[in-house]
Structure 1
Amino acid sequence: MRILKLLAVLLVAGLGTAALWYLPNRPVPLDPPPGGKLKSVSFAPFRDGQSPLTRVYPSTGQIDEDLAAIAPQVAGIRTYTSLEGLEVVPELAKKHGLQVTMGAWLSSKLDKNEAEVNSLIALANRYPDTITRVIVGNEVLLRGELTPEQITGYLRKVKAAIKQPVSYADVWEWWLKYPQMAKEVDYITIHLLPYWEDIPASVEKGAEHIAWSYREISQRFPGKPILIGETGWPTAGRARGAAAPGLVAKAQFINQVIRLAGKEGFDVNIIEAFDQNWKQKLEGTVGGHWGLYTVDRKPKFSLAGPVVENPKWIEHAALAVIAGSALVGVLAASGPALPLSGLAALAVLSDGFASLYLHAADLGVHWSYYWQDLTLTAVMLALTGALGLCILMAAHRVLAGRALPAESLRGLVGDIGYGRLDRVGAVVTLALTALLVAWSFLIVFDGRYRNFPTWYAAVPALGLPILGWLRAGRRPAGTDWRSAMAAGSLFRPAVTVARTPVRAPRAELWLGRLLLAGATLTLLAEGVLPVDAPLRGWLAGTSAMPLSAIDWAHPNVEALVWAGLQALLSLPFLASARLARLARAARPAGAARPGEVRP
């Protein structure tokens, strides 16, 4: 009978877990886009282990393979350099029937600039039918590496040497700041990336934002041809204001842009063909995930739909159910029998922990590329996994027992009990929370390229209060709910009461305060939009978006969730601090303070 109850509980919990995985991964239909191929995509054929930063470049064979892979879907490509092994692109593109917008990379390295420009001129003259236009320099003014006069010199040199139209590419607002550049080019190349705008736009308003910005440029420079040289949407990384990365979001955005371009006659280049993990060094996780294809050269979705946010959700759900069921089985076999309600609660907790942990592990591995990111991921997963197991073991002990005895207040530092579960639970709680606090303030003050640690925080922020709530149901009569929630005794087989404490829980007090401060600052700095971006733009004179562009209906949900998790996580720590104050208030007049010796 006990086995049958266990199997029934695991089955119901497993079905519930599968349903929770399915809900955010329901297929999203897309209207088939008009026309056939995409007109143009950005082409940077770097693979893992290759990067212009390390000067390890793709081979001719790899470039040929990449062009062959995208040729059925696109009519043309845009490159950003005429060196670094990409000199072979025009010849190979001709072989695959692709037109090329060839670029020359300009930077503060003047000798390299000359080599780039000379190579561009030579290629444009050698392949006049394949290279239909060229772009000299990409966001050089944005990076502040050259002056408008220096860029103008390179533009004039190229225009005098080739027959194809010549342009310079930069963020659309920088053309408004440096309007003199327009007379030096045959066509204006603007970058319109709603995700990176000072006031980010949601995917629902992405096409509207592009149309508005395009009109601003066309009205400022009437009669000048315009190329949208970059537009796209990331599939991984942190949210910025209303702009949240995702696979479905990218598919919807690209679908909208194709329709907008067809309706308005816009000339559009999509960024980009393949994910580029090396860019994470410059722009964080989000920088490496703008591709229509993964770094393994697999298409992410079909433009005709339907699209699923996590195509592997069935495998992940199955792993979560198997892992959660195994945890329940081990705990049930190693301790006293649980009532049906206790078994059900343990199964829900186990499946929930397994789901959160597997999702965090999947994102951590997928989003990390460089060794420092992989190391941080490993540390966070180790701490999160250890804490989750401690919470499950402590919950099993509570669910299997009766009323918990009372004991004096204990702290996480210096008085962590004598059992292994007490020690490990306290140390891991302290370490993980301290890391999350540090991460929170880094996001607030230097967060442009930092991910929110939402999935790492979910286990402690949800698990610790739930454990406290379970303990509250077993606390002695007449004790405060905080006695069951106090961080210092969450993993002990007893409930804290407001007596004179053994040690003032200063660590808990400061962690609780810092978590609340982090939550508040997160709401202010990231809740609606990243406030530092428009401030910098307005100070630099490059922010052309009006305040009315703020999408109040689409706040940064990821930031709000992260702030909420910090507030939840603060509860056990503030409960300890509150009990300490109650204990001091209840101390008889004239009694010695903890640790105080009186004659």
Structure 2
Amino acid sequence: MLMKWAGPLLPAILGVIGFWAFLGRPVELPPAPEPKLHCVSYTPFRGDQTPYDRSLVIPPEQIAEDLDQLKPITDCVRIYATDQGLDATVPLAEERGMQVLLGIWIGAEAAIYEPQITRAIALAKAHPKAIKAIIVGNEVLLRGEQSGETLAALVTRVKQATGLPVTYADVWGFWQKAPRVLVDAVDFMTIHILPYWEDDPAPSTMTVPHLEFALGEMQRLYPGKKLMIGETGWPSAGRAREDAIPSIVDQARYLRDFLVYAKAHDLDYNFIEAFDQPWKRAQEGAVGGYWGLFDGNRHAKFDWFKPVSNHPDWPMLAAISLALGLGALGIARPRADDWREALALSFAALVGGTLMTLQAERAHLIYVTTADLAVEALLLVQSALVLILGLRRNLDFATAPLASAARWLIALDTRPLPMGALLRLIVLLGAGTIALGLAFDSRYRGFPLATYAIPAFAFLLLQARAGRLLAPVIDGREERVLSLVYMGCAGFIAWYEGPLNWQALSFCALLLMLALSIAGAWRRPARSLSVVPAA
């Protein structure tokens, strides 16, 4: 069958290859000005290791292996706690001629942080040359777990016990609101400047002006006080915030631009972070797990001096897209009356394969648990079924309202239900659930564009082709409610995310397409409850 489609398939194949070649093109960026970074945040957790597992103790060998990998790019690491085996970082760093910004994790309970203080003091006395400074608490004011006065007392206590430089770290906006007693207690102020997470996010191309503004504000408020940038960086994957886009290219651009600025202004800094941390995806959404210079497998994401690609493996992704698209076309075996219809179906199949590849890539980036992975696998199956049935024009839309499909799904109706109607029910309810989640709790949720692009286009195009887009359906109350949910969520998400967030606007467009695909529910039949497709 595919041999007869060789002519129509060729432009579609070339289009897919061209699309992936464009996504994978190397981008020229200014090179880094120096081969060594001042300091890098280091958390040793790998795979399913997590700091929330209080029984976990990281083996010293694992830390030693990581430090050996980091040594060529930095002589300093910042750690955030002294428990779970992280205290071994100090002597291991000393053996390698490295220093440590030694963090003490301060939370709400003294019973948890007091042992860390004791351990940090002991490390400072045993390895004073290996410790660049001690950081008593990280973003405690942001979390609201202690007062500034309490933190000042802890800083003073550690400073008196160790004789080493002692500081506290927080977002620059919370330093602006910190009590003067805390500012006076620290030897220098450790401020976090993360343009992606700002209330008014800045794109990677505009981060240096934002950095200058934040530093200028701090210097104006606290003239003469020494500053260190304790955290700055950019994520390589995750959801957009306005026009702040996580990607490998944007991460490399920000870090290189920052290094140029830091060198020109003699800034002391610490990048967040050394390695991607999968456990953070459960806490901060997908974006939380992708701030590392190295991925979770300890592979460098980019070179500091060469062009950078978001998809260096694009030939493989193009091949997967073609395999999925051609496979769907081979299974569906659609009938085409002329070359124009064959061309349209060829493009539909291969674009569908490309969207499924993007969907699988996103699933790999966002999943946290095995259950998450299973859900993403089912969503991939959903996309494949919609694509195949759509190519066969075998999706039943207008003759089975949601109420009938739902009654069948919960075994209240034993009459046969077409697969297309059941699939339609699952897709529409799933999209509605995600839309409500994004409308009410969007900060850490991403936009599943590839997941719902195939159904949105398939439902709308096939209904329009059948001439039943505005045809009456039996009652259709559920469809009317769902279409209102789609339209309401689309409007709110577009307003809340703003006009610069192309990911959000694209998902809103898909919601409106799904709403339009069930627009026939707003017309009741005039004389009969039977559904008569338009001629």
Return closer, same or farther for 1:509/1:169 CA change in 2, 3 Å cut-off.
Answer: same
Deviation at 1:336, TM superposition (A): 5.0
Return closer, same or farther for 1:352/1:421 CA change in 2, 3 Å cut-off.
Answer: farther
Contact 1:236 1:367 in 2 (8 A): no
Deviation at 1:185, TM superposition (A): 0.2
Equivalent-residue separation in structure 1 for 2:132 and 2:404 (angstroms): 72
Indicate the residue corresponding to 2:248 in structure 1: 247
Deviation at 1:342, TM superposition (A): 2.1
**Alignment length, in residue pairs?**
522
Deviation at 1:286, TM superposition (A): 1.1
Equivalent-residue separation in structure 1 for 2:367 and 2:232 (angstroms): 24
Q: Deviations 1:81-103 (Å, cap 9, x if unpaired)?
A: 12221121122112222221111
Contact 1:390 1:424 in 2 (8 A): no
Indicate the residue corresponding to 1:401 in structure 2: none
Deviation at 1:58, TM superposition (A): 2.2
Equivalent-residue separation in structure 1 for 2:417 and 2:309 (angstroms): 42
Return closer, same or farther for 1:345/1:67 CA change in 2, 3 Å cut-off.
Answer: same
Deviation at 1:338, TM superposition (A): 4.4
Contact 1:50 1:57 in 2 (8 A): no
2:401 counterpart (401, 411, 425): 411
Q: Deviations 1:462-520 (Å, cap 9, x if unpaired)?
A: 22223234x25xxxxxxxxxx3336xxxxxxxxx5x5xx5x212222222221111110
Structure 1 residue ranges, 4+ long, deviating more than 3 angstroms after superposition: 2-5, 329-332, 335-338, 407-410, 592-595
Equivalent-residue separation in structure 1 for 2:220 and 2:352 (angstroms): 55
Return closer, same or farther for 1:72/1:421 CA change in 2, 3 Å cut-off.
Answer: farther
Return closer, same or farther for 1:409/1:127 CA change in 2, 3 Å cut-off.
Answer: closer
Deviation at 1:434, TM superposition (A): 1.2
Equivalent-residue separation in structure 2 for 1:141 and 1:370 (angstroms): 31
Trace 1:113-512 onto structure 2 (pairs within 5 A): 113-180=113-180, 181-332=182-333, 338-394=337-393, 411-414=401-404, 423-469=418-464, 471-472=465-466, 483-485=467-469, 503-512=474-483
| Unmatched 5+ stretches in structure 1 | 399-406, 473-482, 487-495, 529-554
Equivalent-residue separation in structure 2 for 1:458 and 1:368 (angstroms): 20
Indicate the residue corresponding to 2:411 in structure 1: none
Residue type of the alignment partner of 2:401: G
Deviation at 1:522, TM superposition (A): 0.7
SS at match of 1:233: coil
Indicate the residue corresponding to 2:33 in structure 1: 34
Indicate the residue corresponding to 1:539 in structure 2: none
Deviation at 1:340, TM superposition (A): 2.0
Q: Deviations 1:556-582 (Å, cap 9, x if unpaired)?
A: 1111111111111211111x124x34x
Q: Which moved more, 1:307-316 or 1:36-45?
A: 307-316
SS at match of 1:460: helix
SS at match of 1:414: helix
Equivalent-residue separation in structure 2 for 1:133 and 1:414 (angstroms): 67
Identity within the alignment, %: 34
Contact 1:41 1:78 in 2 (8 A): yes
Equivalent-residue separation in structure 2 for 1:103 and 1:379 (angstroms): 42
Backbone CA RMSD of aligned residues: 2.5
Q: Does 1:63 align with 2:63?
A: yes
2:514 counterpart (563, 569, 574): 569
Equivalent-residue separation in structure 2 for 1:413 and 1:387 (angstroms): 20
SS at match of 2:392: helix
Deviation at 1:190, TM superposition (A): 0.5
Indicate the residue corresponding to 2:505 in structure 1: 560
Residue type of the alignment partner of 2:521: A
SS at match of 1:297: coil
Q: Deviations 1:92-132 (Å, cap 9, x if unpaired)?
A: 11222222111111111202211111111111121122112
Q: Deviations 1:240-284 (Å, cap 9, x if unpaired)?
A: 122121111111111111111011111110000001111122211
Residue type of the alignment partner of 2:118: N
Equivalent-residue separation in structure 2 for 1:230 and 1:182 (angstroms): 18
Contact 1:513 1:570 in 2 (8 A): yes
Indicate the residue corresponding to 1:524 in structure 2: 495
Q: Deviations 1:32-69 (Å, cap 9, x if unpaired)?
A: 11122111110001101211101323211110010111
TM-score w.r.t. length of structure 1:
0.83
Residue type of the alignment partner of 2:426: A
Q: Deviations 1:173-195 (Å, cap 9, x if unpaired)?
A: 11111142110100000011111
Contact 2:26 2:309 in 1 (8 A): yes
Equivalent-residue separation in structure 1 for 2:214 and 2:513 (angstroms): 41
Deviation at 1:393, TM superposition (A): 1.7
Q: Deviations 1:576-597 (Å, cap 9, x if unpaired)?
A: 124x34x33xx4xxxx8889xx
SS at match of 1:341: helix
TM-score w.r.t. length of structure 2:
0.92
SS at match of 2:128: coil
Trace 1:534-549 onto structure 2 (pairs within 5 A): none
Equivalent-residue separation in structure 2 for 1:217 and 1:18 (angstroms): 49
Deviation at 1:3, TM superposition (A): 6.2
SS at match of 2:94: helix
SS at match of 1:485: coil
SS at match of 1:125: helix
Contact 1:410 1:505 in 2 (8 A): no
Deviation at 1:356, TM superposition (A): 0.3
Contact 2:36 2:73 in 1 (8 A): yes
Deviation at 1:415, TM superposition (A): 7.6
Q: Deviations 1:418-447 (Å, cap 9, x if unpaired)?
A: xx9971111111211111112112112111
Contact 2:60 2:88 in 1 (8 A): yes
Deviation at 1:360, TM superposition (A): 0.4
Deviation at 1:6, TM superposition (A): 1.8
Equivalent-residue separation in structure 2 for 1:67 and 1:462 (angstroms): 49
Deviation at 1:409, TM superposition (A): 6.0
Larger radius of gyration: 1
